[in-house]
Amino acid sequence: MNLSDCKIIVSGGGSGMGRHFALRIAEAGGSAAVGDVNEVGLAETLEAAKGKPGKVHARRLDVSDEADVASFVAWARESMGGLNGLVNNAGILRDGLLVKKDRETGNVKKLSKEQWDAVIGVNLTGATLLARDVVASMVETNTRPGVIVNISSIARHGNRGQSNYTAAKAALAANTVTWSKEFAPFGIRVGAVAPGMIETPMTQGMNQKARDALVAAIPVGRIGLPEDIWVAVRFVIECDYFNGRTIDVDGGLSM
């Protein structure tokens, strides 16, 4: 699919990588409908999109809310005058060891069910609801070709302190295969990009020591940038023969 033909929803487009993807789509003359719980961030994305050849539309969206997803998808289709894709990017972290023993007190702490539910609710259920409703909309309107890009993570391979995040991102990569098979008859491709450690507000909030140690372990010698991930997202959108696979883009860092 040509970028200039894109009428694509970008979830989590009020920050980090989602904003970068939406602006790149607009630069190429395409349209992006960005949704995010961060309304201040959405306004900043709209401001940054001013003067670009394509158009960015923005509205609040909580991907974990089924009714909100349905109304957002209908609004996005209406606003862009069509809908032929999704960058399934909204995500959160609620890290913690499943079971932790405090070195000094000996107290045993467990990952809370709230931490588990929050991450599964946004990163897996939310991403699934959005994919479902975007595809349903394309099928109802007989729109083809279409493309879905799931943003997974290299944590999909397993990572200490991230049981919830790993479960969600691994499931998203697995369902990239499932959905590529299910949606092929509708002319819709599905691919995934699994970033390593990327410079965004998500990683800027990390403990500095842990962040430095992780960056030091990256073979290419630097943290990734949203543009590094955009190159892969763009490939998934543009390559009509790419389907059902997940690309790890991590500078060689493996977990």
| CB-based contacts of 185, cutoff 8 Å, min separation 6 | none
- Residue in 147, 155, 149 with CA at minimum distance from that of residue 119: 155
Minimum gap (Å) between residue 47 Cβ and ligand NAP: 15
CB contact at 8 A, 54 and 25: yes
Q: How far is the CB of 243 from ligand NAP (least distance, A)?
A: 21
Phi and psi angles of residue 238, each rounded to the nearest 5 degrees, phi first: -85, -30
- 114-146 burial: b if 16+ Cβ within 10 Å, else e: ebbebbbbbbbbbbbbbbebbbebbbeeebeeb
Q: Could you tell me the two tokens for 70?
A: 């349905």
The sign of the dihedral angle between the CA atoms of 226, 98, 123, 174 is positive
- How far, in Å, CA of 254 to CA of 155, rounded? 9
User: CB-wise, 111 or 124, nearer to ligand NAP?
Assistant: 124
> Judged by CB, which is closer to ligand NAP: 163, or 200?
200
**Distance of closest approach, residue 107 Cβ to ligand NAP, in angstroms:** 29
Catalytic residue status for 165 = yes
Q: Which is nearer to ligand NAP, 18 or 251 (CB)?
A: 18
Please identify which of the residues 21, 72, 165, 183 carries the catalytic annotation: 165
Please report how close the Cβ of residue 205 comes to ligand NAP at its closest, in angstroms: 8
Least distance to ligand NAP from the beta carbon of 105, Å? 32
Q: What's the min distance (Å) between Cβ of 24 and ligand NAP?
A: 14
Q: Which is nearer to ligand NAP, 15 or 164 (CB)?
A: 15
Nearer to ligand NAP, 36 or 189 (CB): 36
C-beta of 16 vs 251, nearer to ligand NAP: 16
186 exposed, middle or buried (CB, 10 Å; 0-12, 13-18, 19+)? middle
What's CA 87's distance to the chain center, in Å? 6
Other CB atoms closer than 10 Å to residue 71's CB: what's the count? 13
Contacts with ligand NAP by CB under 6 A lie at 11-12, 14-18, 36-38, 41, 61-64, 89-92, 122, 126, 151, 153, 195, 197-198, 200-203
Look-up of token digits 């890009």: 149
Q: How far apart are CA 64 and CA 78, in angstroms?
A: 22
List, by residue number, the catalytic residues: 165
